[in-house]
Structure 1
Amino acid sequence: MRYLADFENAHQTIEQALALGINHLETAKGYGKSEEYLGRALKAGLSVPRTRLYITTKISATADADTMRRCIDESLERLQLDYLDCLGIHGLNTWQHLEWVQAKNGCMQAVEEAIADGRVQHVGFSSHGSLELIQAAINTDYFEFVNLHYYYFFQRHAPAIQLAAEKDMGIFIISPADKGGRLYTPPQTLKDLCSPYLPLELNYRFLLADSRITTLSIGPANPNELREPLRIADDDGELTSAENSAFERLENHQKVALKNDKCSQCYACLPCPENINIPEVLRLRNLAVAYDMTDYGQYRYGMFENAGHWFPGMKGDRCTECGDCLPRCPEKLDIPALLEDAHQKLSGKAGRRLWG
């Protein structure tokens, strides 16, 4: 997704990944020239044979089978491959997307044909949607793996992790470094609280220590960005007492810093008449106030109203103080006031998805 400066950079990044032991390469139809560059690298010859690689690409859900048939053919052509190890339904983010998946003549008809003739080995999905939608998609039993957001600083999808594990699905965590908190450039407050560990290291360990989780994505823009994550990659044992102490420090500091304004992420405040994603706005405020993660908060907050179903919801300044959410909040938070404060802290330039 990010190694797209030019083909030479992409090729060097892929070769370095293989040299360091990576054997799963994931791309998507929607990632600019990513499929094309990976295909050219595969055609040029890599240091690891194709039979030892796992190649995944992702294609968005389509309303009809013919469109999906064409998309699968085009992805295989760009990748210069005869088959995919894994095909993911990309961005299964809305209930309409799930309807397309479940439709009798929908996109899954084409996927099942590709499985039957050997062009696809395994099928899964990625989602930026709600917990309820992710659980519903898992419960279709169509899928063998799921790509989703789940990190130390965002544990809302813990029930989806458990459900997928119970169904023996592969569990792929999307972008722990970036979406997990922009942890490659952490604020000093966060660094101090995590010491002697790096914040990124602790987030990786939180995930790697969970035996239900299969793999994490790295998403390097160049070969150098592979080294730091892979320094930690084999450290997948149980959390140590020192690591648990660091997590306790983080939790205790958040309680002290936020006092009576901490949003516990119960989601009881939804739905909002103005379609404000109240829990996510207040989660970003939690992180900004407790850990000075304002840069990350502004980055994510700027995507509201600019990224469609990939990051749904309106910004906090859309609040009309209607009061619908107030009686539903178990903490009795002054939600309109906190939304206004979050908007003041996090409002900056508009953001968008890298490929939007």
Structure 2
Amino acid sequence: MQYRRFGKTNLRLSVLSLGTMRYLASFENALLTIQKAIASGTNHIETARGYGNSEEYLGAALIAGQIPRNQLYITTKIPPTPDADTMRRYIDESLARLKLDYVDCLGIHGLNTSEHLDWVQAKNGCMQAVQEAKRDRRIKHVGFSTHGSLEVILAALNTDLFEFVNLHYYYFFQRNAPAIQLASQKDMGVFIISPADKGGKLYTPPQILKDLCSPFSPLELNYRFLLSNPQITTLSVGAANPDELLEPIQAANFDGELTSKEIAVFERLESHKNTALSTDKCSQCYACLPCPANINIPEVLRLRNLAVAYDMSDYGQYRYGMFENAGHWFGGMKANKCTECGECLPKCPEKLNIPALLKDTHERLNGKAGRRLWG
């Protein structure tokens, strides 16, 4: 296991962090997963108020001495609140469930909108309670997690209220690269959210993607893409059981620059995508926004890119199903809400027939509605 400095927190974290949203089958399963992660060299566990029984399971293992508190950094996450009193109560409740006097890191969970940003900057908002808890040493370091737009993320970083950020960034989604750059300039820790799952459901890749990535696995390549970037501190591995830690642990043993063989595979992936999509490829410039129908056009077309180029339809359906069902966690309407107003057409530098591509995406990917765990 490799370790990196988590920005200005000066914590030295393992490049893999155990995320606990998916280990909830039972306390026994949670304990075995935690123990396997620790045995591999993982020294950071991330939980959240909204992750089912996650805090309780972790607290039960800690209080029983089944996992070593003095060898771990523990982060929990609490959603932003418009007032300090609610945040005070939430902090007390999380510490009680965790059976802890303090947490190493607290993340404001889901700083996704401009309204959330207003709450954390308000005089009597949630950060007042967070700063009180920090002064009392019940919280050592403060950061935020976000599923918001790049503009919201950059604005949050520029408040200078935070020491680290949890965000989405993967080989198949590089929109937030400027946020990583800014966080690095501010000496903030960078924590990547769920690269196996949100990064493409890469633990169950389609055959065409496996063939294109050979001799590497798609999951391995995504980890290497991320860990080759020294501005990134750690990656969340949301293992549902101990077995799901095996491949990530192997990938975490090497965090150097990309090799010539790895670079060749990434070039092959890009070449195949360009050929498969031809003149229908959305290059993710975001010039088409805002959409009058509130469709997140670039994200819809990103999912289409992946489905057409790499047969990543399972992932596409999983993410597309979140539209209209996950609130601010995954904003925007489904593509069938397009009114064909044509406002996006002159904005697109590639001259894409966006309404036709939106319709095609909906036909390809519309399926079961999705929601957040705590939705």
Give the TM-score category using the shorter length.
Answer: over 0.9
Report the secondary structure of 2:50's partner residue: coil
Q: What residue in structure 1 maps to residue 86 of structure 2?
A: 67
State the distance in 2 between where 1:2 and 1:47 align. Answer: 19
Give unpaired runs (5+ residues) of structure 1.
none
Inter-partner Cα distance in structure 1 for 2:276 and 2:32: 45
Q: Deviations over 1:144-168 (max 9, x none)?
A: 0000000000000000000001111
| 1:56 match: secondary structure | strand
Q: Which has the higher contact order (CA 8 A, sep 6+)?
A: 2
TM-fit CA distance, 1:253:
0.5
Aligned ranges 1:192-203 → 2 under 5 Å:
192-203=211-222
The secondary structure found in structure 2 opposite 1:86 is: strand
Aligned residue among 124, 140, 145 for 1:121: 140
Q: Secondary structure at the match of 1:339?
A: helix
Is 1:91 the equivalent of 2:110?
A: yes
Give, in whole Å, the separation in 1 of the partners of 2:372 and 2:86.
Answer: 24
Confirm whether residue 219 of structure 1 aligns to residue 199 of structure 2.
Answer: no
Q: CA deviation at 1:15?
A: 1.3
Cα distance in 2 for partners of 1:65, 1:114 equals 11
Letter in 2 for 1:4: L
4+ long deviations beyond 6 Å: none
Give me the whole-angstrom Cα distance separating, in 2, the residues matched to 1:249 and 1:8: 43
Q: Which residue of 2 aligns with 1:5?
A: 25
**5+ residue gaps in structure 2?**
1-20
Whole-Å separation in 1 of the counterparts to 2:76 and 2:67: 21
Q: Hey, what does 2:157 align to over in structure 1?
A: 138
Deviations 1:67-90 (A, max 9, x none): 101100110000000001000000
Deviations 1:83-121 (A, max 9, x none): 010000000011100000000010000000111110000
Structure 2 distance, partners of 1:218, 1:179, is 11
**Structure-2 residue corresponding to 1:18:** 38
Q: Normalised by the size of structure 1, how large is the TM-score?
A: 0.99
Q: How does 1:138-177 map to 2 (within 5 A)?
A: 138-177=157-196
Give the percent of matched residue pairs that are identical in Structure 1 and Structure 2.
76
Give the alignment partner of residue 77 of structure 1, picking from 81, 93, 96.
96
Equivalent-residue separation in structure 1 for 2:321 and 2:290 (angstroms): 21
Q: Displacement, 1:355? A: 2.5
Q: What residue is the counterpart of 2:204 in the other structure?
A: 185
AA aligned opposite 1:190: L
- Give the counterpart of 1:111 among 114, 121, 130: 130
Amino acid at match of 1:310: W
Q: What is the RMSD of the two structures over their aligned residues, measured on CA atoms? A: 0.7
In the alignment, the residues of structure 1 paired with residue 241 and residue 160 of structure 2 have an alpha-carbon distance, to the nearest angstrom, of 37
TM-score by length of 2: 0.94
Q: Which amino acid aligns with 2:207?
A: Q
Whole-Å separation in 2 of the counterparts to 1:175 and 1:41: 23
Alpha-carbon separation, structure 2, partners of 1:109 and 1:93: 19
CA distance in 1 between partners of 2:242 and 2:207 (Å) = 27
* Structure 2 CA distance for aligned equivalents of residues 114 and 47 of structure 1: 25
For residue 146 of structure 1, give the secondary structure of its aligned residue in structure 2.
Answer: strand
Residue 236 of structure 1 is matched in structure 2 by: 255
1:327 is aligned to 346
Contact in 1 for aligned 2:154/2:179 (Cα 8 Å): yes
Instruction: Give the match's secondary structure for 2:237.
Output: coil
Q: Give how far 1:47 is off.
A: 4.6
2:228–2:258 Cα contact (<8 Å) kept = yes
Distance 2:333 2:194 in 1: 23
